[in-house]
Amino acid sequence: MINRELIEVFSEIAREKNVDRSELGTILEQLFLYIIEKQTGDASNCSVIINLDKGEIEIYSEKVIVDEIDDQKVEITLEEVLKQDPSLSDLQVGDSYVEVIDPRVFGRRLITHAKQFFAQRLRDVERKYIYDDYATRVGEIVIGTVHQVQRDNVFVNIEHAELRLPRKEQIPSERYRRGDTIRAIIKSVESISKGPDIIISRSDNHFLYKLFEMEVPEIEDGIIEIKAIARHPGERAKIIVFSNDRRIDPVGACVGMRGSRIQGVVRELDNEKIDIVNFSEKPEILITRALSPAKPEKLYIDDDKKYCVAIFPDDELETAIGKGGMNINLAARVTDYRIDAYGISEHEKARKEQGKVLENVDGVDKKVAEGLYQVGIKTVSDVLSADEEKLLSAEGVDDAILETLYESIQSYVESSESTEELESQEKE
């Protein structure tokens, strides 16, 4: 009877912890082997069979029949064997005998050890379930409740699982309080000694992607693609979108009627401003759109080096760069081009300086200038844009001379800037 009652007690605990019956059987088997080892110091010759349906626990100990016992754990006399089962009279010294152990012999020790061991094993099984569950859900959005706020981490509960939101994965402008409901994306899951370490994020680009996927059915259906995302979390983001159906405007679909779709995303991200850019295979069109709200007058693009010089009206240069360089930085990241922005007047001055013939730059040897001229390098601009390999191919140019050439050009550019600054001050 004790067996059935014991199994029922453990079964109830397992149900509360959402543990499978198969796992429960394994835990109970390990439990009795653990108790035997605690009591005797060795359980290698023992086996346990648990029948949950019948409520039966069977424990067996394999022993060798001997004349005189040296080790009670693994040896038994023939006399003791026949006392337990007279029908085994054909057994002899040296034969193996399987002894049945009644679980009740463990008494209160069973209860004390059982509670401790069973609780630990349940925790291990629960952690494994949580890890296995969340490891397959990386990239999904989850909703949980904040239960602890620390300096570098916010801990979020979802049922029995604890998720961690590190500071770098938070939106800097947000403040979290215990009891707040929070939405985030599962970024990574690792197994550590304390259990699964489930990292969630609100600053990751993929979180923004999944929010749009939730708000815009055309993205989930594959009609509209998000080609690239760049974010300053909580402040501003730029995304490039493309429609596989010419009849559907990707920007309009993402914005929604009267901004209904994009507003849902913006509110979730603490009013992060989002620029939606229509994709183009032409770099000049794509970069122009990405630099919005500023509109460049001209673009000079080097596709091989993924580099672009954008020229703006002087009064729009500040808008193009943005607060703290945010606008141009996001445009560069989302298009994968390095972008330098100049005002018209600033660029014209730079062109004049860089258009100067090398022979007229102080510090540049005439023979060096002639050698460079033979390989097509004529001006300051030519030197700055050329590869070192091409410069070194010129007659009379080696590493040391090339270094001197760079220093001369640098001095020339700096002196030109100083002269302009002085002239500007004199005018004032």
Give tens-digit pLDDT for 280-332: 999 999 999 999 999 999 998 988 889 898 999 988 999 999 998 999 999 99
Determine the CATH number of domain 217-275. 3.30.300.20
- Boundaries of CATH 3.30.1480 in the chain? 2-132
Compute the distance between CA of residue 365 and CA of residue 362 in angstroms, rounded to an integer: 8
Q: Which fold has domain 355-427?
A: DNA polymerase; domain 1 (1.10.150)
- Boundaries of CATH 1.10.150.20 in the chain? 355-427
| Locus of tokens 């085994």 | 88
Q: Which CATH superfamily is domain 143-201 in?
A: Nucleic acid-binding proteins (2.40.50.140)
| Per-residue pLDDT at 356 | 53
Most confident region among 100-104, 207-211, 340-344 by mean pLDDT: 207-211
Q: pLDDT tens-digit profile of 123-133? A: 888 888 899 99
- Boundaries of CATH 2.40.50.140 in the chain? 143-201
For the chain, give percent helix, strand, coil, nearest 5. 50, 25, 25
| Per-residue pLDDT at 24 | 78
Better pLDDT: 396 or 105: 396
Q: How far apart are the first and last CA of the chain?
A: 103
| Per-residue pLDDT at 119 | 76
Specify the 3-state DSSP secondary structure of 196. Answer: strand
- Strand partners for 230: 238
Compute the distance between CA of residue 145 and CA of residue 157 in angstroms, rounded to an integer: 5
- Boundaries of CATH 3.30.300.20 in the chain? 217-275, 280-345
| Res. 360 pLDDT band, cuts 50 70 90 | low
- The CATH number for 2-132, chosen from 3.30.1480, 3.30.200, 3.30.70, 1.10.3470, is 3.30.1480
CATH class as words, domain 280-345 = alpha beta
Q: How far is CA 272 from the centre of its chain?
A: 21
Question: Kindly report the CA angle at 95 between 92 and 100, in degrees rounded to 5?
Answer: 105
Q: How many CA atoms lie within 13 A of 273 on its CB side?
A: 9
Residue type, 420: E
| Res. 421 pLDDT band, cuts 50 70 90 | very low
